[in-house]
């Protein structure tokens, strides 16, 4: 299908004359790296304020810095058109969650991450044990994806399989329509399924598709110098740990919650959260911390139960100790408004105690771990990280160090003694998951006060 499109493009260029087929100027003479992309929940997306983010977006900004030019992102309706932009000479590079496809007349970069493919259905429909079980079924996929190619091959063996490629529909849309009962089955990659299943727990993987692929960037065949520079950048990003840190930042937390956790959380978003939403809005107005992040912390602490009490004596929605409550002026820890406002101020105080060089979103994740441990223990973990040659302002590095605080040989080096650092990691990773779900389901707080809001998803 795509080869036919490419042939038609070539005929069009020949008919229009050589001046139409001139490639885009080199990124250095043009003064920018032009990237063809598409909206995608994982690779490139815009938040409610129109700010861009995503795994590939952040990596491409770093590529631009390495090449010494800014990056211009041109959005296309789908991956096929983004690839055509490179073939037509309108972009230097296509980056749109693209599965490596050697049959296309493009140079593919080194792998950014590995990916495999699945067929998703509704959990109440049961698994499909073999290809014969797809007979008479309708499977939708994003046009131009490798999942779509898998389906095309299966249809040769199962002629009654109905394969559909809805125009302009990405994985996020297709899986939402599947969850709503509007589609029969959807072929997608496992990571997109994992993202969707957190807000649509009625989804299930009904069949694995064979083989694995890699997500890569596509470049024109006639620019080996750019291809070499991009591959060198990716290799450096892999060897330095940049790729692993970015992957963890964007989807390292995705699979932490099980189906029961997610289902319970979604029910409580509808049943409990409405009673307290105004208090979280007020807390954002006071602290600048996104109310959905504060709500995620509160859910991890108490499941939005204002009467929660632990065996250690912490109480209330935000599970404050009596000493912390006194410092914050919280007279009644069981009053939900007081608890939420007090906990928000405490989290903001912890954020402010971290060095200015600490970037977001790591800064907020570190403050969340300190919320659990106390800043004394957290500072001790940072000291241990430095002694091991790790970055003490990177959550990726710190979450491998925090569990060491319970071991005697490390606890002896801490002024505050031993601590359950592993529990702080679990808490923070769960908060990341709850926050991400709330970001997808709940609108941002809108205030006429125009107070600065904390950005947890964009690089500083």
Catalytic residue ranges = 301
Residue 407 Rama label (left phi>0; alpha psi -120 to 50; beta): beta
CA count, 13 A, side-chain hemisphere, 74: 16
What beta strand segments (E) does 76-202 contain?
93-99, 107-108, 113-122, 138-140, 162-164, 185-189
> Two tokens at 305?
């139960």
Contact 86, 94 (CB under 8 A): yes
Burial code (b: 16+ CB inside 10 Å, e: under 16) for 361-398 equals bbbbbbbbbbbbbbbebbbbbbebbeeeebebbbbbbb
Q: Measuring CA to CA, which residue among 289, 276, 290 is closest to residue 339?
A: 276
Contact 139, 184 (CB under 8 A): yes
Cα(149)–Cα(142) distance, integer angstroms = 10
- Between CA 29 and CA 35, with CA 33 as vertex, the angle to 5 degrees is 145
Non-local CB neighbours of 8 within 8 Å, separated by 6+ positions: none
Cα(198)–Cα(380) distance, integer angstroms = 34
Residue 143 Rama label (left phi>0; alpha psi -120 to 50; beta): beta
**Strand, coil or helix: 119:** strand
DSSP assignment of 248-272 equals HHHHTTTTSS-HHHHHHHHHHHHHT
CA count, 13 A, side-chain hemisphere, 350: 26
Strands 33-37 and 93-99, bridge-based pairing: parallel
Long-range CB contact pairs, 320-323, < 8 A, 24+: 320/346
């Amino acid at each position: 299908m795509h080869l036919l499109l490419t042939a038609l493009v070539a005929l069009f260029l020949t008919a229009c004359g050589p001046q139409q087929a001139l490639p885009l100027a080199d990124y250095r003479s043009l003064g920018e790296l032009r990237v063809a992309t598409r909206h995608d929940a994982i690779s490139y997306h815009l938040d409610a304020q129109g700010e861009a983010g995503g795994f590939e977006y952040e990596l491409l900004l770093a590529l631009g810095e390495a090449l010494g030019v800014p990056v211009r992102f041109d959005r296309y309706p789908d991956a096929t058109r983004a690839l055509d932009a490179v073939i037509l000479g309108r972009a230097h590079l296509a980056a749109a969650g693209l599965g490596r496809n050697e049959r296309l007349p493009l140079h593919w970069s080194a792998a950014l991450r590995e990916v495999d493919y699945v067929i998703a259905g509704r959990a109440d429909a049961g698994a499909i044990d073999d290809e014969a079980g797809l007979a008479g079924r309708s499977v939708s996929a994003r046009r131009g994806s490798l999942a779509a190619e898998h389906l095309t091959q299966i249809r040769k063996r199962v002629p009654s399989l109905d394969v559909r490629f809805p125009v302009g529909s990405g994985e996020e849309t297709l899986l939402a329509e599947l969850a709503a009962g509007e589609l029969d089955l959807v072929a997608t990659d496992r990571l997109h399924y994992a993202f969707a299943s957190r807000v649509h727990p009625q989804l299930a993987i009904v069949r694995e598709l064979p083989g694995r692929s890699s997500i890569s960037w596509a470049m024109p065949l006639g620019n080996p110098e750019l291809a070499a520079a991009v591959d060198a950048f990716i290799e450096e990003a892999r060897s330095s740990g940049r790729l692993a840190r970015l992957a963890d930042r964007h989807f390292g937390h995705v699979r932490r919650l099980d189906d029961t956790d997610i289902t319970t959380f979604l029910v409580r978003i509808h049943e409990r959260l409405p009673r307290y939403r105004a208090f979280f809005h007020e807390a954002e107005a006071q602290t600048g911390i996104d109310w959905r992040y504060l709500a995620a912390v509160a859910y991890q602490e108490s499941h939005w139960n204002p009467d929660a009490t632990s065996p250690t004596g912490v109480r209330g929605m935000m599970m404050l100790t009596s000493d912390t409550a006194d410092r914050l002026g919280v007279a009644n820890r069981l009053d939900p408004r007081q608890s939420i406002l007090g906990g928000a101020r405490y989290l903001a105080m912890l954020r402010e105690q971290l060095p200015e060089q600490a970037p977001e979103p790591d800064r907020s994740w570190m403050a969340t771990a300190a919320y659990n441990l106390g800043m004394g223990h957290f500072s001790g973990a940072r000291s241990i990280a430095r002694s091991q040659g790790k970055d003490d302002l990177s959550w990726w590095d710190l979450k491998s160090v925090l569990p060491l605080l319970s071991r005697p040989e490390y606890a002896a080096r801490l002024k505050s003694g031993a601590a359950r650092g592993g529990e702080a990691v679990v808490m923070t990773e769960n908060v990341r998951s709850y926050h991400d779900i709330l970001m997808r389901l709940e609108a941002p707080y809108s205030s006429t006060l125009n107070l600065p809001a904390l950005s947890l998803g964009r690089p500083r």
